[in-house]
Amino acid sequence: MSSLYTQQGKNIRRTWLLMTVFLVVVIAIGYFIAWYVNNPGILYIAVAFSLLMNITAYWFSDKVALAATGAKEADAKQYLELHRILENLAITAGLPKPRLYVIDDPAPNAFAAGRNPKHAVVAVTTGLLSRLERSELEGVLAHELSHVGNRDILVMTVAVVLAGFIAIVSDIFLRMSFFGHGDRDNRNPILLIAGIVAIIVAPIAAQLIQLAVSRRREFLADASGALLTRYPEGLASALRKIALYPEPLRRANHATAHLFISNPFGPSTSLRASAQGGRFIAKIFSTHPPVEERIAALTQMRV
C-alpha cells in the first residue's frame, strides 16, 4: 500500500514530467514557426524567450502575487497570535518561517508564494481570520506550508508562465498564417495542416495541464498539512466554511487563482453545486479540485 510519502514522490515526478512536456511543446512550436516562415532564428528566439520568462517568474513570482492581491505585511503586534501559529507550524515542518501577509477582504482564503522555502510568503484574508477557529486556521496555514515545503509554488508558477508563452506564440503564428506570411507554395500541405492544428490545440492543452498540476498539488498539500497538524478535521472544517462563502475575492484574477487554497472566484464545484453536467465541465476547467472530494479525502485519513 502506498503511503503519503510515496504518493508525494509520485506527484513530484509527474509534475516535473509535465514541465518537461511544456518545454518540448515550446521548442516544437518554435521549430514549426521557423520552418513555416523559413527563418531558423525564430527557434532560437523562442527558446531564449521561454528561458527568460522562467527566470523572471522564478525571481519575482512572490512580489507579483502580493501586488496583484493587495496583500500587506502582517504587523507583528496586531497579528501576534497568527505569527505564533505560523512559527510553530514552520518549526514542526522543519521550514524557515515565511513572511506573513494579510489581505483586507471579507472572503476567506489564503495562498503561499515564493521561489523556495527561504524566500516564501504566506498571505491570509481578514475574512479567513474572522471566520475560522484556531484548529481550522492551523489547518489552512499547514496546507500553505506544505506547498512551500513541497516546492509546489515554483512548479505551478513555471507552468503558468509556459502556458502563457505557448498561447502567445500560437496566437502570433495564427496571425502570420492569416495574413499570408511564409512560402506556403513549397510546403507539404499535410504537414502544414497538422502544424496549424497543433498550434491551435497547444494553448488549450497547456491550460488543461496547468489546471491538472494545480489540482493534484491541492490534494497533496491537504494530506501533508493534515499530517503536520495531526488533525485532518481542522482543515476539512475550514474548507467547508470557505466553500460556503458566497462572494469572490475583491481582487480575484486568473493569473493568481491557482495559488489560493480555494478558487478566489468562488468554488465552481462546491458543496452548493447542482447539475451533474455542469459539475463535470466545472471540474475540468477549475484550478482546484471539488471541495467535497478534498473534504472526503481528509475525513478518511488516519494520522
* Residue 65 near residue 256 (C-beta atoms within 8 A): yes
Q: What is the DSSP string of 267-297?
A: -SSSTT---HHHHHHHHHH-SS--HHHHHHH
73: which strand partners? 101
Q: In what order do the strands lie in the sheet with 121-125?
A: 72-73, 99-103, 121-125, 110-113
**Local structure of 260: helix, strand or coil:** strand
SS3 content of the chain, % helix, strand, coil (to 5): 70, 5, 25
Query: Which one is catalytic: 87, 133, 136, 144?
Result: 144
Q: Is 233 tagged catalytic?
A: no
C-alpha–C-alpha distance, residues 238 and 30, integer Å: 45
Cell numbers 466545472 correspond to: 282
> What is the 3-state secondary structure of 16-71?
HHHHHHHHHHHHHHHHHHHHHHCCCHHHHHHHHHHHHHHHHHHHHHHHHHHHHHCC
- State phi, psi for 125 to the nearest 5 degrees: -90, 160
Cell numbers 504587523 correspond to: 75
Q: Which of 200, 195, 293, 213 is nearest to 258 (CA)?
A: 213
Residues that are catalytic: 144
